[in-house]
Structure 1
Protein backbone atom coordinates (compact mmCIF):
# COMPACT_ATOMS: atom_id res chain seq x y z
CA UNK A 1 0.00 0.00 0.00
CA UNK A 2 1.37 3.42 -0.97
CA UNK A 3 1.81 6.14 1.61
CA UNK A 4 -1.15 8.18 0.33
CA UNK A 5 -3.42 5.11 0.46
CA UNK A 6 -2.31 4.33 4.02
CA UNK A 7 -2.98 7.87 5.19
CA UNK A 8 -6.34 7.97 3.43
CA UNK A 9 -7.37 4.81 5.28
CA UNK A 10 -6.15 5.92 8.72
CA UNK A 11 -6.27 9.75 8.86
CA UNK A 12 -9.77 11.32 9.08
CA UNK A 13 -8.33 14.68 7.98
CA UNK A 14 -6.68 13.30 4.85
CA UNK A 15 -7.64 15.14 1.68
CA UNK A 16 -9.48 17.98 3.41
CA UNK A 17 -8.84 21.41 1.86
CA UNK A 18 -6.36 23.82 3.42
CA UNK A 19 -8.32 26.23 5.61
CA UNK A 20 -5.72 28.98 5.48
CA UNK A 21 -2.86 29.61 3.10
CA UNK A 22 0.58 30.25 4.58
CA UNK A 23 3.17 32.68 3.23
CA UNK A 24 6.86 33.37 3.70
CA UNK A 25 8.79 36.63 3.24
CA UNK A 26 11.93 35.76 1.27
CA UNK A 27 15.02 37.77 0.29
CA UNK A 28 18.17 37.37 -1.82
CA UNK A 29 21.33 36.42 0.11
CA UNK A 30 22.34 39.65 1.86
CA UNK A 31 24.24 40.06 5.12
CA UNK A 32 23.75 43.18 7.25
CA UNK A 33 26.16 43.93 10.09
CA UNK A 34 25.83 47.42 11.52
CA UNK A 35 26.22 49.83 8.60
CA UNK A 36 27.88 47.17 6.45
CA UNK A 37 25.91 45.36 3.72
CA UNK A 38 27.22 42.40 1.70
CA UNK A 39 25.10 41.22 -1.24
CA UNK A 40 26.11 37.69 -2.23
CA UNK A 41 23.91 37.57 -5.35
CA UNK A 42 21.01 39.49 -6.88
CA UNK A 43 18.59 36.56 -7.35
CA UNK A 44 16.94 34.48 -4.70
CA UNK A 45 19.08 31.52 -3.62
CA UNK A 46 17.99 28.53 -5.70
CA UNK A 47 18.05 26.08 -2.78
CA UNK A 48 16.21 28.31 -0.31
CA UNK A 49 13.63 29.22 -2.94
CA UNK A 50 12.82 25.58 -3.61
CA UNK A 51 12.67 24.74 0.10
CA UNK A 52 10.33 27.68 0.70
CA UNK A 53 8.18 26.86 -2.31
CA UNK A 54 7.64 23.29 -1.13
CA UNK A 55 6.30 24.23 2.30
CA UNK A 56 4.65 27.63 1.69
CA UNK A 57 1.68 28.59 -0.45
CA UNK A 58 2.69 32.19 -1.12
CA UNK A 59 6.04 34.02 -1.18
CA UNK A 60 6.77 37.75 -0.91
CA UNK A 61 9.97 39.71 -1.61
CA UNK A 62 10.46 43.05 0.18
CA UNK A 63 11.55 45.84 -2.14
CA UNK A 64 12.63 49.33 -1.12
CA UNK A 65 13.99 52.53 -2.58
CA UNK A 66 17.33 51.54 -1.00
CA UNK A 67 17.91 48.70 -3.44
CA UNK A 68 16.13 47.52 -6.57
CA UNK A 69 17.02 44.13 -8.01
CA UNK A 70 15.73 42.78 -11.29
CA UNK A 71 13.64 39.62 -11.14
CA UNK A 72 15.43 36.41 -12.10
CA UNK A 73 14.01 33.53 -14.18
CA UNK A 74 12.69 31.58 -11.18
CA UNK A 75 11.09 34.67 -9.68
CA UNK A 76 9.36 35.59 -12.95
CA UNK A 77 8.00 32.06 -13.30
CA UNK A 78 6.48 32.10 -9.78
CA UNK A 79 5.11 35.60 -10.33
CA UNK A 80 3.34 34.35 -13.45
CA UNK A 81 1.94 31.46 -11.37
CA UNK A 82 0.54 33.94 -8.82
CA UNK A 83 2.65 32.46 -6.02
CA UNK A 84 5.32 35.14 -5.56
CA UNK A 85 4.87 38.89 -5.32
CA UNK A 86 7.01 41.92 -4.59
CA UNK A 87 5.97 44.05 -1.62
CA UNK A 88 7.28 47.61 -1.98
CA UNK A 89 7.82 49.69 1.16
CA UNK A 90 9.38 53.10 1.82
CA UNK A 91 11.94 53.58 4.57
CA UNK A 92 14.58 56.08 5.60
CA UNK A 93 18.16 55.97 6.86
CA UNK A 94 21.28 54.27 5.54
CA UNK A 95 21.05 51.26 3.26
CA UNK A 96 21.45 48.69 6.07
CA UNK A 97 18.63 50.27 8.13
CA UNK A 98 16.42 50.43 5.06
CA UNK A 99 16.96 46.77 4.20
CA UNK A 100 16.13 45.66 7.74
CA UNK A 101 13.10 47.97 7.86
CA UNK A 102 11.85 46.68 4.51
CA UNK A 103 11.70 43.11 5.80
CA UNK A 104 10.04 44.11 9.08
CA UNK A 105 7.55 46.46 7.42
CA UNK A 106 6.64 43.84 4.84
CA UNK A 107 5.86 41.31 7.56
CA UNK A 108 3.89 43.89 9.56
CA UNK A 109 1.87 44.92 6.50
CA UNK A 110 1.08 41.35 5.49
CA UNK A 111 0.30 40.40 9.10
CA UNK A 112 -2.31 43.18 9.28
CA UNK A 113 -3.93 41.97 6.05
CA UNK A 114 -4.04 38.29 7.04
CA UNK A 115 -3.08 37.72 10.71
CA UNK A 116 -1.04 34.58 11.32
CA UNK A 117 -0.54 33.77 7.64
CA UNK A 118 2.96 35.18 7.06
CA UNK A 119 6.39 34.47 8.53
CA UNK A 120 9.96 35.54 7.76
CA UNK A 121 12.52 33.48 5.92
CA UNK A 122 16.15 33.98 6.84
CA UNK A 123 19.62 32.55 7.31
CA UNK A 124 22.87 32.35 5.40
CA UNK A 125 21.11 32.15 2.02
CA UNK A 126 18.63 34.94 2.67
CA UNK A 127 18.69 38.23 4.60
CA UNK A 128 20.98 37.63 7.56
CA UNK A 129 20.89 40.46 10.09
CA UNK A 130 23.33 40.88 12.96
CA UNK A 131 21.26 42.77 15.52
CA UNK A 132 18.51 45.00 14.15
CA UNK A 133 14.94 44.80 15.44
CA UNK A 134 15.51 41.92 17.83
CA UNK A 135 15.98 41.36 21.55
CA UNK A 136 18.34 38.51 22.56
CA UNK A 137 17.32 35.77 25.01
CA UNK A 138 13.63 36.71 25.06
CA UNK A 139 12.45 34.29 22.40
CA UNK A 140 12.66 30.56 21.73
CA UNK A 141 14.11 28.47 18.91
CA UNK A 142 12.45 25.20 17.94
CA UNK A 143 14.97 23.11 15.97
CA UNK A 144 14.34 20.01 13.87
CA UNK A 145 17.49 18.08 12.95
CA UNK A 146 17.62 15.64 10.00
CA UNK A 147 13.85 15.69 9.76
CA UNK A 148 12.56 17.45 6.64
CA UNK A 149 12.99 16.69 2.93
CA UNK A 150 13.67 19.68 0.66
CA UNK A 151 14.12 19.70 -3.14
CA UNK A 152 17.62 19.97 -4.57
CA UNK A 153 18.68 23.30 -6.02
CA UNK A 154 18.31 22.18 -9.64
CA UNK A 155 14.78 20.76 -9.30
CA UNK A 156 12.39 22.30 -11.86
CA UNK A 157 9.85 24.56 -10.15
CA UNK A 158 7.00 22.98 -12.13
CA UNK A 159 7.92 19.56 -10.68
CA UNK A 160 7.78 20.95 -7.13
CA UNK A 161 4.35 22.46 -7.78
CA UNK A 162 3.13 19.11 -9.16
CA UNK A 163 4.47 17.32 -6.08
CA UNK A 164 2.69 19.83 -3.83
CA UNK A 165 -0.61 19.30 -5.63
CA UNK A 166 -0.40 15.52 -5.24
CA UNK A 167 0.98 15.55 -1.68
CA UNK A 168 -0.90 18.43 -0.16
CA UNK A 169 -2.20 16.43 2.85
CA UNK A 170 1.30 15.39 4.00
CA UNK A 171 2.67 18.92 3.59
CA UNK A 172 -0.32 20.44 5.35
CA UNK A 173 -0.07 17.99 8.25
CA UNK A 174 3.59 18.77 8.83
CA UNK A 175 3.03 22.52 8.87
CA UNK A 176 -0.02 22.14 11.10
CA UNK A 177 1.79 20.00 13.66
CA UNK A 178 4.71 22.43 13.88
CA UNK A 179 2.22 25.16 14.75
CA UNK A 180 0.35 22.89 17.18
CA UNK A 181 3.59 22.09 18.98
CA UNK A 182 4.48 25.79 19.10
CA UNK A 183 1.10 26.63 20.59
CA UNK A 184 1.42 23.85 23.17
CA UNK A 185 4.84 25.16 24.21
CA UNK A 186 3.55 28.72 24.64
CA UNK A 187 0.17 27.85 26.21
CA UNK A 188 -0.57 27.99 29.91
CA UNK A 189 -1.07 24.22 30.00
CA UNK A 190 1.02 22.25 32.49
CA UNK A 191 0.41 18.89 30.80
CA UNK A 192 3.57 17.06 29.80
CA UNK A 193 1.35 14.40 28.17
CA UNK A 194 -0.22 16.99 25.87
CA UNK A 195 3.18 18.29 24.83
CA UNK A 196 4.46 14.77 24.20
CA UNK A 197 1.36 14.04 22.11
CA UNK A 198 2.15 17.03 19.86
CA UNK A 199 5.77 15.88 19.60
CA UNK A 200 4.55 12.45 18.50
CA UNK A 201 2.25 13.91 15.84
CA UNK A 202 5.09 15.99 14.44
CA UNK A 203 7.41 12.98 14.43
CA UNK A 204 4.85 10.95 12.46
CA UNK A 205 4.26 13.83 10.01
CA UNK A 206 7.98 14.13 9.27
CA UNK A 207 8.24 10.39 8.76
CA UNK A 208 5.19 10.30 6.46
CA UNK A 209 6.50 13.13 4.30
CA UNK A 210 9.90 11.51 3.85
CA UNK A 211 8.16 8.29 2.80
CA UNK A 212 6.18 10.15 0.14
CA UNK A 213 9.38 11.51 -1.42
CA UNK A 214 10.48 7.94 -2.08
CA UNK A 215 7.48 7.44 -4.37
CA UNK A 216 8.75 10.18 -6.71
CA UNK A 217 11.83 10.55 -8.86
CA UNK A 218 12.57 14.07 -7.65
CA UNK A 219 15.93 14.58 -5.91
CA UNK A 220 15.59 15.62 -2.26
CA UNK A 221 17.97 16.68 0.49
CA UNK A 222 17.45 15.93 4.15
CA UNK A 223 17.40 19.22 6.02
CA UNK A 224 17.26 20.93 9.39
CA UNK A 225 14.63 23.53 10.27
CA UNK A 226 14.80 26.39 12.76
CA UNK A 227 11.50 27.97 13.84
CA UNK A 228 11.73 31.13 15.97
CA UNK A 229 9.02 32.04 18.52
CA UNK A 230 8.36 35.37 20.23
CA UNK A 231 8.12 33.67 23.61
CA UNK A 232 10.54 32.67 26.37
CA UNK A 233 9.80 29.02 27.09
CA UNK A 234 11.83 29.02 30.33
CA UNK A 235 8.83 30.60 32.05
CA UNK A 236 6.64 27.59 31.32
CA UNK A 237 6.60 24.55 33.58
CA UNK A 238 5.51 22.10 30.87
CA UNK A 239 8.23 23.02 28.38
CA UNK A 240 10.90 23.32 31.04
CA UNK A 241 10.07 19.92 32.56
CA UNK A 242 10.00 18.17 29.19
CA UNK A 243 13.33 19.59 27.98
CA UNK A 244 15.02 19.86 31.39
CA UNK A 245 16.97 16.59 31.29
CA UNK A 246 18.32 16.85 27.76
CA UNK A 247 19.02 19.38 25.05
CA UNK A 248 17.49 17.15 22.36
CA UNK A 249 14.55 14.78 22.09
CA UNK A 250 14.57 11.97 19.55
CA UNK A 251 12.17 11.76 16.60
CA UNK A 252 12.01 7.98 16.59
CA UNK A 253 9.64 7.33 13.67
CA UNK A 254 11.52 9.78 11.46
CA UNK A 255 14.89 8.26 12.41
CA UNK A 256 13.65 4.77 11.53
CA UNK A 257 12.29 5.95 8.18
CA UNK A 258 15.56 7.67 7.26
CA UNK A 259 17.58 4.62 8.33
CA UNK A 260 15.89 2.59 5.59
CA UNK A 261 17.10 5.11 2.99
CA UNK A 262 20.52 6.31 4.03
CA UNK A 263 22.97 6.26 6.91
CA UNK A 264 22.80 9.56 8.78
CA UNK A 265 22.58 11.07 12.22
CA UNK A 266 19.39 10.53 14.20
CA UNK A 267 16.46 12.89 13.77
CA UNK A 268 15.99 15.10 16.83
CA UNK A 269 14.12 18.14 18.09
CA UNK A 270 15.35 20.78 20.53
CA UNK A 271 14.14 23.96 22.20
CA UNK A 272 16.44 26.72 23.40
CA UNK A 273 16.65 30.47 23.89
CA UNK A 274 16.63 32.70 20.84
CA UNK A 275 15.95 36.28 19.77
CA UNK A 276 12.57 38.01 20.00
CA UNK A 277 11.36 39.98 16.97
CA UNK A 278 10.06 43.27 18.34
CA UNK A 279 7.92 44.60 15.44
CA UNK A 280 5.21 41.93 15.85
CA UNK A 281 3.48 40.26 18.78
CA UNK A 282 2.67 36.67 17.83
CA UNK A 283 3.88 34.22 20.46
CA UNK A 284 1.90 31.12 19.50
CA UNK A 285 3.19 30.52 15.97
CA UNK A 286 6.71 30.91 14.56
CA UNK A 287 7.59 34.29 13.08
CA UNK A 288 10.69 33.03 11.28
CA UNK A 289 11.81 29.82 9.53
CA UNK A 290 15.31 28.87 8.38
CA UNK A 291 16.15 25.71 6.38
CA UNK A 292 19.57 24.13 6.06
CA UNK A 293 20.03 21.26 3.60
CA UNK A 294 22.24 18.50 5.03
CA UNK A 295 22.41 15.26 3.05
CA UNK A 296 21.14 13.93 -0.26
CA UNK A 297 18.34 11.40 0.09
CA UNK A 298 19.49 9.18 -2.76
Structure 2
Protein backbone atom coordinates (compact mmCIF):
# COMPACT_ATOMS: atom_id res chain seq x y z
CA UNK A 1 0.00 0.00 0.00
CA UNK A 2 1.32 3.43 -0.94
CA UNK A 3 2.11 5.98 1.77
CA UNK A 4 -0.58 8.40 0.56
CA UNK A 5 -3.25 5.69 0.54
CA UNK A 6 -2.22 4.48 3.99
CA UNK A 7 -2.37 8.01 5.46
CA UNK A 8 -5.76 8.63 3.83
CA UNK A 9 -7.16 5.51 5.51
CA UNK A 10 -5.77 6.55 8.91
CA UNK A 11 -6.64 10.25 8.63
CA UNK A 12 -9.87 11.20 6.80
CA UNK A 13 -8.63 14.83 6.54
CA UNK A 14 -5.46 13.86 4.67
CA UNK A 15 -5.18 15.73 1.37
CA UNK A 16 -8.02 18.13 2.21
CA UNK A 17 -7.71 21.78 3.29
CA UNK A 18 -7.03 22.15 7.00
CA UNK A 19 -10.04 23.61 8.81
CA UNK A 20 -9.05 25.66 11.84
CA UNK A 21 -11.02 27.49 14.53
CA UNK A 22 -9.75 30.51 16.47
CA UNK A 23 -11.27 30.53 19.94
CA UNK A 24 -11.20 32.81 22.97
CA UNK A 25 -11.57 32.55 26.72
CA UNK A 26 -15.08 32.36 28.09
CA UNK A 27 -16.29 35.96 28.34
CA UNK A 28 -19.49 37.02 30.13
CA UNK A 29 -20.87 40.54 29.68
CA UNK A 30 -22.82 41.73 32.73
CA UNK A 31 -24.24 45.11 33.79
CA UNK A 32 -21.65 45.34 36.55
CA UNK A 33 -18.77 44.57 34.17
CA UNK A 34 -17.09 41.96 32.02
CA UNK A 35 -15.84 38.67 33.44
CA UNK A 36 -13.10 36.79 31.57
CA UNK A 37 -12.43 33.14 32.38
CA UNK A 38 -8.97 31.60 32.50
CA UNK A 39 -10.08 28.88 30.09
CA UNK A 40 -12.25 28.11 27.05
CA UNK A 41 -15.86 27.24 27.86
CA UNK A 42 -15.79 23.41 27.98
CA UNK A 43 -18.89 22.82 25.83
CA UNK A 44 -17.54 25.15 23.13
CA UNK A 45 -14.20 23.38 23.22
CA UNK A 46 -15.82 19.99 22.61
CA UNK A 47 -17.92 21.42 19.81
CA UNK A 48 -14.75 22.79 18.21
CA UNK A 49 -12.85 19.54 18.59
CA UNK A 50 -15.62 17.60 16.86
CA UNK A 51 -15.93 19.82 13.76
CA UNK A 52 -12.47 21.36 13.22
CA UNK A 53 -8.98 19.97 12.62
CA UNK A 54 -6.98 22.53 14.58
CA UNK A 55 -7.69 25.08 17.32
CA UNK A 56 -5.91 28.36 18.05
CA UNK A 57 -6.45 30.08 21.40
CA UNK A 58 -4.39 33.32 21.40
CA UNK A 59 -2.83 34.70 24.56
CA UNK A 60 -1.99 38.33 25.25
CA UNK A 61 0.27 40.46 27.45
CA UNK A 62 -2.51 42.22 29.39
CA UNK A 63 -4.62 39.44 30.93
CA UNK A 64 -3.21 35.98 31.58
CA UNK A 65 -5.48 33.01 30.85
CA UNK A 66 -3.68 29.93 32.09
CA UNK A 67 -6.04 27.32 30.70
CA UNK A 68 -6.79 23.98 32.32
CA UNK A 69 -6.25 20.25 31.87
CA UNK A 70 -8.28 20.21 28.65
CA UNK A 71 -6.21 22.89 26.92
CA UNK A 72 -2.95 21.40 28.23
CA UNK A 73 -3.93 18.00 26.81
CA UNK A 74 -4.74 19.47 23.38
CA UNK A 75 -1.44 21.36 23.33
CA UNK A 76 0.42 18.06 23.82
CA UNK A 77 -1.44 16.58 20.83
CA UNK A 78 -0.53 19.65 18.70
CA UNK A 79 -4.23 20.25 18.01
CA UNK A 80 -4.22 23.50 20.02
CA UNK A 81 -1.79 26.42 19.62
CA UNK A 82 -1.44 29.53 21.81
CA UNK A 83 0.26 32.37 19.88
CA UNK A 84 0.95 35.51 21.94
CA UNK A 85 -0.21 39.05 21.03
CA UNK A 86 0.93 42.38 22.44
CA UNK A 87 -1.43 45.31 23.13
CA UNK A 88 -1.39 48.67 24.86
CA UNK A 89 -3.42 49.05 28.04
CA UNK A 90 -7.21 48.84 27.81
CA UNK A 91 -10.19 49.47 30.09
CA UNK A 92 -12.20 46.61 28.56
CA UNK A 93 -10.87 43.19 29.62
CA UNK A 94 -12.56 41.52 26.63
CA UNK A 95 -10.84 43.70 24.02
CA UNK A 96 -7.39 42.05 23.90
CA UNK A 97 -9.02 38.62 23.58
CA UNK A 98 -11.27 39.68 20.69
CA UNK A 99 -8.55 41.65 18.89
CA UNK A 100 -6.07 38.78 19.18
CA UNK A 101 -8.69 36.55 17.56
CA UNK A 102 -9.13 39.00 14.70
CA UNK A 103 -5.38 39.35 14.18
CA UNK A 104 -4.94 35.59 14.01
CA UNK A 105 -7.86 35.33 11.58
CA UNK A 106 -6.37 37.98 9.30
CA UNK A 107 -2.99 36.27 9.42
CA UNK A 108 -4.19 32.72 8.81
CA UNK A 109 -7.31 32.94 6.64
CA UNK A 110 -6.81 32.19 2.94
CA UNK A 111 -3.42 30.61 3.53
CA UNK A 112 -2.69 27.84 1.07
CA UNK A 113 -4.68 24.70 1.96
CA UNK A 114 -6.11 26.25 5.14
CA UNK A 115 -9.53 27.70 6.02
CA UNK A 116 -9.93 29.43 9.38
CA UNK A 117 -13.02 30.54 11.28
CA UNK A 118 -13.78 32.43 14.50
CA UNK A 119 -15.65 30.98 17.47
CA UNK A 120 -17.42 33.48 19.70
CA UNK A 121 -18.96 32.40 22.99
CA UNK A 122 -21.30 35.40 22.91
CA UNK A 123 -22.70 37.33 19.97
CA UNK A 124 -21.72 40.73 21.40
CA UNK A 125 -17.96 40.21 21.25
CA UNK A 126 -17.22 40.89 17.60
CA UNK A 127 -19.92 43.55 17.42
CA UNK A 128 -18.09 45.47 20.17
CA UNK A 129 -15.07 45.97 17.88
CA UNK A 130 -16.78 48.50 15.64
CA UNK A 131 -13.74 49.42 13.55
CA UNK A 132 -13.40 45.80 12.40
CA UNK A 133 -17.04 45.03 11.59
CA UNK A 134 -19.88 46.26 9.40
CA UNK A 135 -23.65 45.59 9.52
CA UNK A 136 -23.93 43.78 6.17
CA UNK A 137 -24.00 40.21 7.40
CA UNK A 138 -26.49 37.39 7.71
CA UNK A 139 -26.92 34.96 10.57
CA UNK A 140 -27.92 31.35 9.87
CA UNK A 141 -29.00 29.39 12.93
CA UNK A 142 -29.64 25.66 13.18
CA UNK A 143 -31.83 25.21 16.24
CA UNK A 144 -31.75 21.96 18.21
CA UNK A 145 -30.02 20.21 15.34
CA UNK A 146 -26.35 19.67 16.22
CA UNK A 147 -25.15 16.86 18.52
CA UNK A 148 -22.24 17.96 20.74
CA UNK A 149 -20.46 15.90 23.44
CA UNK A 150 -21.32 16.93 26.98
CA UNK A 151 -18.86 19.29 28.69
CA UNK A 152 -17.57 16.51 30.97
CA UNK A 153 -16.76 13.99 28.21
CA UNK A 154 -12.98 13.27 28.11
CA UNK A 155 -11.30 14.81 25.08
CA UNK A 156 -9.50 11.60 24.10
CA UNK A 157 -12.91 9.92 23.78
CA UNK A 158 -14.05 12.66 21.40
CA UNK A 159 -10.91 12.24 19.30
CA UNK A 160 -11.50 8.50 19.06
CA UNK A 161 -15.15 8.97 18.12
CA UNK A 162 -14.17 11.59 15.55
CA UNK A 163 -11.61 9.22 14.01
CA UNK A 164 -14.31 6.59 13.50
CA UNK A 165 -17.13 8.91 12.45
CA UNK A 166 -15.28 11.77 10.81
CA UNK A 167 -17.18 11.56 7.50
CA UNK A 168 -20.59 12.43 8.95
CA UNK A 169 -19.39 15.60 10.66
CA UNK A 170 -17.31 16.73 7.68
CA UNK A 171 -20.39 16.23 5.48
CA UNK A 172 -22.47 18.45 7.78
CA UNK A 173 -19.84 21.19 7.73
CA UNK A 174 -19.66 20.96 3.91
CA UNK A 175 -23.43 21.34 3.56
CA UNK A 176 -23.35 24.45 5.76
CA UNK A 177 -20.59 25.91 3.58
CA UNK A 178 -22.62 25.14 0.46
CA UNK A 179 -25.71 26.83 1.89
CA UNK A 180 -23.73 29.95 2.72
CA UNK A 181 -22.06 30.13 -0.69
CA UNK A 182 -25.31 29.67 -2.58
CA UNK A 183 -27.15 32.23 -0.45
CA UNK A 184 -24.47 34.74 -1.34
CA UNK A 185 -24.90 34.22 -5.09
CA UNK A 186 -28.33 32.76 -5.88
CA UNK A 187 -30.76 34.55 -8.17
CA UNK A 188 -33.56 32.17 -7.20
CA UNK A 189 -33.47 31.99 -3.38
CA UNK A 190 -36.90 30.42 -2.83
CA UNK A 191 -36.21 27.37 -4.99
CA UNK A 192 -32.56 26.95 -4.03
CA UNK A 193 -33.14 27.43 -0.31
CA UNK A 194 -35.63 24.61 0.07
CA UNK A 195 -33.26 22.15 -1.61
CA UNK A 196 -30.24 23.35 0.38
CA UNK A 197 -32.08 23.02 3.69
CA UNK A 198 -33.06 19.47 2.76
CA UNK A 199 -29.35 18.67 2.33
CA UNK A 200 -28.48 20.20 5.71
CA UNK A 201 -31.40 18.40 7.32
CA UNK A 202 -30.09 15.05 6.07
CA UNK A 203 -26.54 15.85 7.22
CA UNK A 204 -27.80 16.82 10.69
CA UNK A 205 -29.83 13.61 10.83
CA UNK A 206 -26.76 11.54 9.91
CA UNK A 207 -24.72 13.24 12.66
CA UNK A 208 -27.51 12.62 15.18
CA UNK A 209 -27.78 8.99 14.12
CA UNK A 210 -24.09 8.19 14.61
CA UNK A 211 -23.94 10.18 17.87
CA UNK A 212 -26.59 7.91 19.33
CA UNK A 213 -24.04 5.06 19.11
CA UNK A 214 -21.83 6.83 21.63
CA UNK A 215 -21.79 5.66 25.25
CA UNK A 216 -21.09 9.14 26.63
CA UNK A 217 -23.60 11.99 27.16
CA UNK A 218 -24.49 14.10 24.12
CA UNK A 219 -26.26 17.46 24.16
CA UNK A 220 -28.46 18.85 21.43
CA UNK A 221 -27.21 22.28 20.41
CA UNK A 222 -27.98 25.35 18.35
CA UNK A 223 -25.33 26.43 15.88
CA UNK A 224 -25.30 30.04 14.72
CA UNK A 225 -23.10 31.14 11.83
CA UNK A 226 -22.30 34.64 10.58
CA UNK A 227 -21.98 35.04 6.80
CA UNK A 228 -20.49 38.20 5.38
CA UNK A 229 -22.82 39.83 2.82
CA UNK A 230 -22.94 43.21 1.16
CA UNK A 231 -26.23 45.16 1.31
CA UNK A 232 -26.54 45.33 -2.47
CA UNK A 233 -26.13 41.56 -2.68
CA UNK A 234 -28.98 41.08 -0.21
CA UNK A 235 -31.23 43.20 -2.39
CA UNK A 236 -30.05 41.87 -5.76
CA UNK A 237 -30.32 38.26 -4.64
CA UNK A 238 -33.72 38.71 -3.05
CA UNK A 239 -32.41 37.42 0.28
CA UNK A 240 -33.63 40.31 2.36
CA UNK A 241 -37.02 38.62 2.68
CA UNK A 242 -35.43 35.73 4.56
CA UNK A 243 -34.51 37.91 7.52
CA UNK A 244 -37.06 37.51 10.27
CA UNK A 245 -39.06 35.06 8.14
CA UNK A 246 -40.79 32.00 9.48
CA UNK A 247 -38.66 29.10 10.59
CA UNK A 248 -37.83 26.35 8.12
CA UNK A 249 -38.55 22.93 9.58
CA UNK A 250 -36.03 20.09 9.37
CA UNK A 251 -38.27 17.04 9.19
CA UNK A 252 -35.62 14.34 8.75
CA UNK A 253 -33.75 15.47 11.86
CA UNK A 254 -37.06 15.48 13.72
CA UNK A 255 -37.71 11.86 12.69
CA UNK A 256 -34.26 10.75 13.86
CA UNK A 257 -34.69 12.54 17.19
CA UNK A 258 -38.08 10.95 17.69
CA UNK A 259 -36.56 7.54 17.07
CA UNK A 260 -33.81 8.16 19.62
CA UNK A 261 -35.63 9.82 22.50
CA UNK A 262 -39.29 9.24 21.67
CA UNK A 263 -41.81 11.42 19.87
CA UNK A 264 -42.98 13.28 22.98
CA UNK A 265 -39.46 14.24 24.05
CA UNK A 266 -38.08 15.09 20.60
CA UNK A 267 -37.35 18.75 19.99
CA UNK A 268 -38.19 20.37 16.67
CA UNK A 269 -35.10 21.06 14.55
CA UNK A 270 -35.42 24.28 12.55
CA UNK A 271 -33.41 26.83 10.55
CA UNK A 272 -33.82 30.58 10.85
CA UNK A 273 -32.16 33.63 9.29
CA UNK A 274 -31.33 36.93 10.96
CA UNK A 275 -29.31 40.04 10.23
CA UNK A 276 -25.77 39.92 11.63
CA UNK A 277 -22.37 41.56 11.34
CA UNK A 278 -19.70 41.19 8.69
CA UNK A 279 -15.94 41.70 8.90
CA UNK A 280 -14.29 44.71 7.26
CA UNK A 281 -11.23 42.78 6.12
CA UNK A 282 -12.72 39.42 5.23
CA UNK A 283 -11.46 38.00 1.94
CA UNK A 284 -13.78 34.99 1.54
CA UNK A 285 -17.40 36.11 1.77
CA UNK A 286 -18.88 32.84 0.48
CA UNK A 287 -18.64 30.72 3.62
CA UNK A 288 -19.37 31.47 7.29
CA UNK A 289 -16.54 33.13 9.22
CA UNK A 290 -17.92 33.01 12.76
CA UNK A 291 -19.66 30.31 14.78
CA UNK A 292 -21.42 30.11 18.15
CA UNK A 293 -22.86 26.92 19.65
CA UNK A 294 -25.46 26.89 22.42
CA UNK A 295 -26.04 23.60 24.24
CA UNK A 296 -29.48 22.52 25.43
CA UNK A 297 -30.44 19.73 27.79
CA UNK A 298 -28.82 16.32 27.63
CA UNK A 299 -30.07 14.34 24.63
CA UNK A 300 -28.85 10.82 25.36
Determine if the TM-score, normalized by the shorter chain, exceeds 0.5: yes
CA-based RMSD: 2.7
What are structure 2's unaligned runs of at least 5 residues?
1-11
Of 257, 277, 296, which residue of structure 2 is paired with 1:294?
296
Q: Is the counterpart of residue 63 in structure 1 residue 59 in structure 2?
A: yes
CA contact (8 A) 1:186 1:284 kept: yes
Describe the SS at the equivalent of 2:220: strand
Change (3 A) 1:238 1:255: farther
Residue 8 of structure 1 is matched in structure 2 by: none
1:176-224 per-residue CA deviation (whole Å, 9 max, x = no partner) reads: 0000000000014436433322211111000011000112212100000
What are structure 1's unaligned runs of at least 5 residues?
1-14
Residue 128 of structure 2 is matched in structure 1 by: 131
Distance in 2, Cα, partners of 1:153 & 1:53: 12
Residue 101 of structure 1 is matched in structure 2 by: 99
Distance in 2, Cα, partners of 1:235 & 1:189: 10
Residue 259 of structure 2 is matched in structure 1 by: 260
The runs of 4+ residues in structure 1 deviating greater than 6 Å are none
Of 201, 204, 207, which residue of structure 2 is paired with 1:206?
204
CA contact (8 A) 2:189 2:239 kept: no
Describe the SS at the equivalent of 2:40: coil
Residue 3 of structure 1 is matched in structure 2 by: none
- Of residues 49-58 and 107-116 in structure 1, the stretch that sits farther from structure 2 once superposed is 107-116
1:220-275 per-residue CA deviation (whole Å, 9 max, x = no partner) reads: 0000000001115632435346x379321111101111122231331100111111
Describe the SS at the equivalent of 1:22: strand
Distance in 2, Cα, partners of 1:100 & 1:88: 13
> Equivalent residues in 2 for 1:62-211 (5 A)?
62-94=58-90, 96=92, 97-114=95-112, 117-124=115-122, 128=125, 131-133=128-130, 135=133, 137-190=135-188, 192-211=190-209
Change (3 A) 1:60 1:16: closer
1:77-99 per-residue CA deviation (whole Å, 9 max, x = no partner) reads: 11111100012222334153433
Distance in 1, Cα, partners of 2:109 & 2:243: 34
Q: Residue 155 of structure 1: CA displacement?
A: 0.3
Distance in 2, Cα, partners of 1:127 & 1:44: 17
Please report the TM-score for the alignment, with normalisation by the length of structure 2.
Answer: 0.84
Describe the SS at the equivalent of 1:260: helix
Please report the TM-score for the alignment, with normalisation by the length of structure 1.
Answer: 0.85
